[in-house]
Amino acid sequence: MRVNQGKCSNRLSIVSTPIGNAEDITLRALSVLKEADLIACEDTRVTSKLLAIHQIHTPLISYHDHNAEQVRPRIIEALKQGQSIALVSDAGTPLISDPGYKLVRNCVEEGLHVVCVPGPCSVLAALTLSALPTHSFYFAGFAPAKSKARQVFFSDLLGVPGTLIFFESARRLSDSLTDMMTVFGNRQAVVARELTKKFEEIRKDQLQGLINFYATHGAPKGEIVVLLDAGGPQPRKDQDLDELLKIVLEQKSLRDAVELVATTTGVSRRRIYERALFVQAAADEPS
């Protein structure tokens, strides 16, 4: 095992920072942040607080979605001049639904050295606490905000043979769970909230159970990761199959839609085909 201390010039370091508990930062992250010439961060106010806790005085430059096109060439130029630059996000691992991918791509294209200083990431924290299978998983990021687009987004993931992981806002959680129920059926699901913080909570139930819970108790507060079991075949009523087929038939041919829905629901191709014809006929009826 290598112990890496001292200044690492001429490189971009991707540094993970805490997702809620300030103590979740590695020794290496602290030394890289201390030794860097510059730290590129999303919000200088957020990163200043972290640096103050650890008495780090490295200068900051903001690098976020709205200024990335202007700032990226300056970072690349500084790296070429031999500076060492650390990239952090507001919390967790940069590049994971956070800025940085294009910066890393540019560095690689320019032959600049990039290193990773691994640490907290809400995706893996949620997965490891979910008690869902971990041998195969698919991180899908944030689903679209509008219900129709969200259903299409979910339907593209129907055949994924592993645990599905999504980011979601507390405000949209109930609507999103309802759309998941429409597309995936009543799968086992987990809402992982406020991980590593004081009010950390893991709530696991069938989707319908979670929908009922939040309908009764109201929207939760805080940051949320939603996980869905890959699920086996679920019993589905004709009406549920029709809802799903309506979404899938907008993206795929009759043949492909029948194949996908039959495979993922475990319902016979014959029954799915009949429902698909019914859905198509209903859609063609003049209103």
Q: Which residues bind ligand SAM (CB under 6 A)?
A: 19-20, 89, 91-93, 96-98, 121-122, 167-168, 192-197, 223-225
Looking at the Cβ atoms of 51 and 195, the one nearer to ligand SAM is: 195
Looking at the Cβ atoms of 17 and 31, the one nearer to ligand SAM is: 17
Residue nearest ligand SAM by beta-carbon distance? 92
Smallest gap, in angstroms, from Cβ of residue 145 to ligand SAM? 13
Smallest gap, in angstroms, from Cβ of residue 255 to ligand SAM? 37
Contact status, residue 166 vs residue 223, Cβ threshold 8 Å: no
Do β-strands 201-206 and 188-193 pair in parallel, antiparallel, or remain unpaired? antiparallel
Looking at the Cβ atoms of 193 and 236, the one nearer to ligand SAM is: 193
- 34, two tokens: 């201390």
Residue 108 CB partners (closer than 8 Å, separation 6+): 114
Looking at the Cβ atoms of 168 and 179, the one nearer to ligand SAM is: 168
d(CA 61, CA 72): 11
- What is the DSSP secondary-structure string of 89-146? -SSB-TTSSSS-HHHHHHHHHTT-EEEEE----HHHHHHHHHTS--SSEEEEEEPPSS
Q: CA 232, 236, 242: angle at the middle one, nearest 5?
A: 120
Looking at the Cβ atoms of 101 and 215, the one nearer to ligand SAM is: 101
Smallest gap, in angstroms, from Cβ of residue 108 to ligand SAM? 20
Smallest gap, in angstroms, from Cβ of residue 27 to ligand SAM? 19
Smallest gap, in angstroms, from Cβ of residue 57 to ligand SAM? 25
Looking at the Cβ atoms of 49 and 269, the one nearer to ligand SAM is: 49
Residue 63 CB partners (closer than 8 Å, separation 6+): 40, 41, 42, 71, 72, 75, 87, 99, 100, 103
Smallest gap, in angstroms, from Cβ of residue 202 to ligand SAM? 10
